[in-house]
Structure 1
């Protein structure tokens, strides 16, 4: 069964509204739905606004009312088939009398899957796979977490051209440019966890919040996760009320990720120091690398990553480049502020993670 141009347009619109800014990240996917009448005209649309709110299909059906009877529902994700905080969308579509459902991505969550069978059993025509890759890209971290049983991990670090994250005396502010740091905040906002180790917290006292171009704290802060066994001073900024914080008292990366997955977290932004990064790399738990490279040389100082146990070049950890972006100074910044380079990479052999968003 094919799809029409009107359905393709509707799917593009559904993907756009699913990505509406401000929707909280976490255990639920981003989903958009557009209802079309028999002539391919838009009747209504809806998108999921976060856990506990109506699903995209329910929101669109509510807007359409009786006009939904005989309509085509175009949805970015297979309609769910389970009852959680809200009822199953597949049953809602059946009861509304829609005649056709076109969706992009099959739901990888076994608890929610099965919507296709429910719809077809009710005599509704179902087509899947329209703009599948675009839908997977929309929910890349959520899809990965559901399929692998752990959060997707993006390791971010800033380095000089010769691979240093700090000078010989320990100073590191600022290796990256202000524009690169603002870009980091934008990437933080795409994740639902920012992770560091206890050593970084004690040494740098970071806030680990998302801030905008005027350094104001923005809403919908990621969870701050601190990994390590040592006790920490409650007066450190990571424990303030600007965002929630969890202290994961373990040195085991897998245990840390398991705890976060249980908390419904699906995308970790790993910003810890060289030792924590090395632990995740050695465990094979880094899925994406974002490196900001400054055109600066130190010649000595702290390495950007700790010992990986690699003794010979044949054992080197190889990365594939997904994207290269120049990060120029923002308007109003001093011309002396250097252009940084943002590299987005993935460990060789991993499936592409679709960071190409610039």
Structure 2
């Protein structure tokens, strides 16, 4: 049975976790250390791959006061050695008496921490505010279960569904407020994916920008899929080593390659052909439609042929949220019955 102090500490640990980088390969984790009297003596959160885990940071802040106390952590303490040592051993070395965690670790190589702690005589309880913890790491949790990154398909369109004019020009359909909002969403992803057609037609940078329109400190991996060469002068290449071209056009192969690099949230910004291929493969998990109050009357549609020939086969989506940005409207949608390729 959790105490009021533990529930309060878990709420605080969830707040701490959200200071972490959402696009990092590792989950966002927060930890609060209570001493033997139930008072907070240490706090910490994980700042990204290769840095100390939340439990280690919190234990360092608590020092000797942690002895005989309780660690309240948003994710089951890890049980393996990666870039850093296992948190289970750090907790045992600190003589922690109890561990209360929210979400069980779904990662095979890192799970088992609760069992190891219990075997060493530590009282372990899991599940406190588990749903809230999963929400903090929604795409990371999804990717662990699905074995692939969560895919957000973002596109901009006019009221008549056009993504570009008849002459191929497409910048800018939406206004500056919408672009700033989408820049913030893009920053939460580990990779941005476009096709070679988009690169050759628009020469995009695909970077995350700050308020001064300069590249932000941390950049998603910029991924171009397709076999056509990307010009050496293409802006997408950049000079920060965050560019990758993947040959072929198989969405599943792309996801497999990116999952191996620790990507758990992918931002799909390709043109209508690429978008249609991913949709037909059933590999779009979220749609962000940036709708401009404008008309073109001709030009490429936002998505290419989906193989739907009758209204009975229409692919419908569920509206999750609607946002106003300037004169534009962002619709956040979840697919309901995407067409699957045979």
Q: TM-score range by the shorter chain?
A: over 0.9
Contact 1:222/1:243, CA 8 A, preserved across alignment: no
Match of 1:9 in 2: 8
Moved more, 154-163 or 83-92: 83-92
- Structure 2: any 5+ residue segments left out of the alignment? none
Residues 206 and 135 of structure 1: CA distance in aligned 2, closer, same or farther (over 3 Å): same
Contact 1:188/1:269, CA 8 A, preserved across alignment: yes
**Cα deviation, residue 180, structure 1:** 0.4
Which of 64, 67, 70 is the equivalent residue of 1:69? 67
**Cα deviation, residue 123, structure 1:** 1.9
Q: How far apart, CA to CA, are the structure 1 residues paired with 2:201 and 2:337?
A: 35
Which of 342, 346, 357 is the equivalent residue of 2:330? 342
Matches within 5 A, 1:187-266: 187-242=185-240, 244-266=242-264
Matches within 5 A, 1:15-164: 15-20=14-19, 23=21, 25-164=23-162
Q: How far apart, CA to CA, are the structure 2 residues paired with 1:243 and 1:223?
A: 9
Contact 1:192/1:223, CA 8 A, preserved across alignment: yes
- The C-alpha deviation readout for 1:284-326, integer Å capped at 9, x for no partner, is 0001111111111222221001111111111111111111111
Contact 1:274/1:304, CA 8 A, preserved across alignment: yes
Contact 1:46/1:57, CA 8 A, preserved across alignment: yes
Q: How far apart, CA to CA, are the structure 1 residues paired with 2:318 and 2:157?
A: 18
SS in 2 for 1:325: strand
List, as ranges, runs of 4+ consecutive aligned residues in structure 1 with deviation greater than 4 Å.
Answer: none
- Structure 1: any 5+ residue segments left out of the alignment? 329-338, 351-358
Aligned residues: 338
Contact 2:23/2:187, CA 8 A, preserved across alignment: no
SS in 1 for 2:163: strand
Match of 1:318 in 2: 316
SS in 2 for 1:166: coil
Residues 136 and 24 of structure 1: CA distance in aligned 2, closer, same or farther (over 3 Å): closer
- The C-alpha deviation readout for 1:326-345, integer Å capped at 9, x for no partner, is 113xxxxxxxxxx1111111
Residues 183 and 243 of structure 1: CA distance in aligned 2, closer, same or farther (over 3 Å): farther
Q: TM-score if structure 1 supplies the norm length?
A: 0.91
Q: How far apart, CA to CA, are the structure 2 residues paired with 1:232 and 1:250?
A: 13
Q: How far apart, CA to CA, are the structure 2 residues paired with 1:314 and 1:101?
A: 53
Q: TM-score if structure 2 supplies the norm length?
A: 0.95
SS in 2 for 1:256: helix
> Alignment RMSD, CA only?
1.5
